[in-house]
Chain A
């Protein structure tokens, strides 16, 4: 403990803080880009899986197989497959792009499930009523179903996104600069593991805790009234 206190002033110097601040920004950016892109993609997948909109069954099956596959592969394995696929296909992209793609593909599979659950929570009669008013599938989705479903979709999507913020620590494995990677560098520069990893644990906490609180608050606020 005494060694830790002795080391602290040197560790919390200006340049280390700048370094960690940058890493923090990269973790946040990676999560934002990945989860944002993934949510849009996942939303499309959920729409593709809806019987009311897509009448062509094989297309629905393809979307279902994609979601089931990507939900069941661990983040690390997905990261490696995408990393090598980019490399071997001859695309010369930065590690950040590989990482963001992985986060987005993970997010898409989970978002597709959340969106589907939200769409299914709306009563079937609503679709029938929209059809009776001569609305097409997509119009019904936009004007009738989504205004009711979004309150059910948003809170779990947010919780999953926070989960992915934590998963981004794994991309340090392919040498992408973010919080965990920064801690490993500082550790190799000679600072003790306790102070390096302890500090980034707190930084991750500072990123995830407010988001989780916000998700919980949204959930209680948006909960549909039971009638």
Chain B
């Protein structure tokens, strides 16, 4: 049985799909911002905290880095109700994604903290910088330059990760693709179009992040 591709049948749904892409971007943004905040706090604890909090943060990071996000969300969504915590699928996905992103962003930001050298701060002191000035002119520019590339990379990865939300019935880009597939049965067509949407989303994000990095932090590097 030969199968002919018929893109004509799915074109009316392109706008509906774009709405899903918008939700995917929102999910990625929420996950990134919350994960970044978690990562900042955890990295600070790993760097300056006392023994016990350090061990706890370490356990959190190691556990979340070595288990699949999908199963983490399964656990949050299906197992937590047994202990009285009932979450909607959207909440479960957001919490799972944020915790997962938090673990990755802790690792990234810890590396950023580690990249500051004592000599830099001493040099700033020798030049007569006050503490605030040395943070403003030496430490922050340095940290931004070191952290920007891996952080933007993580954002791109997170945009693609949002597709997992479809498994829990959240109607983002992949979720809406499932819906269209159920209505039209043009599976190959609509899933390839969804794939192209993701390519477009991440390409635009990559290009924008590259320009930001180049303009604000003088990061030189290849785009592709």
Contact = CB atoms under 8 A, between A and B. Distances in A.
Contacts of A75: 160, 163
B41 to A, nearest CB: 23
Scoring A75, A78, A179, A201 by chain B CB atoms within 10 A of each residue's CB, the highest score goes to A201
Given A72-B198, A73-B160, A198-B79, A80 B187 contact: yes
Contacts of B83: 194
Nearest to B165: A76
A81 B79 contact: no
Contact of A77 (B62, B74, B174): B174
A168 B67 CA distance: 11
A186 to B, nearest CB: 12
Nearest to A206: B66
Given A84-B187, A209-B62, A72 B199 contact: yes
Q: How large is the interface on B (under 10, 10 to 19, 20 to 34, 35 or more residues)?
A: 35 or more
Interface stretch (A38-46, A85-93, A127-135, A217-225): A85-93
Given A74-B161, A197-B74, A88 B82 contact: no
B66 A204 contact: yes
A173 B168 CA distance: 11
Q: Is the interface of A mostly helix, strand, loop or mixed?
A: helix
Contacts of B70: 169-170, 172, 180
Nearest to B1: A90
B113 to A, nearest CB: 18
Interface of B: 1, 3, 62-63, 65-72, 74-75, 78-79, 81-83, 156, 160-164, 166-167, 174, 177, 187-188, 191-192, 194-195, 198-199, 202-203, 224
Interface of A: 3, 64, 68-69, 72-78, 80-81, 84-85, 88-90, 162, 166-170, 172-173, 179-180, 183, 187, 192-194, 197-198, 200-201, 204-205, 208-209, 212
Given A88-B188, A193-B78, A201-B71, 8 more contacts: A74-B161, A74-B164, A77-B191, A80-B187, A81-B191, A81-B195, A170-B70, A200-B71
22 contacts: A72-B202, A73-B198, A74-B160, A74-B174, A74-B198, A75-B160, A76-B166, A80-B177, A81-B188, A81-B191, A81-B192, A81-B195, A88-B187, A90-B3, A167-B68, A170-B70, A172-B70, A179-B71, A180-B74, A201-B67, A204-B71, A209-B66
Q: Which 6 A-B pairs rank lowest in CB-CB distance, beginning with the nearest?
A: A193-B78, A74-B163, A194-B79, A169-B68, A166-B68, A208-B66
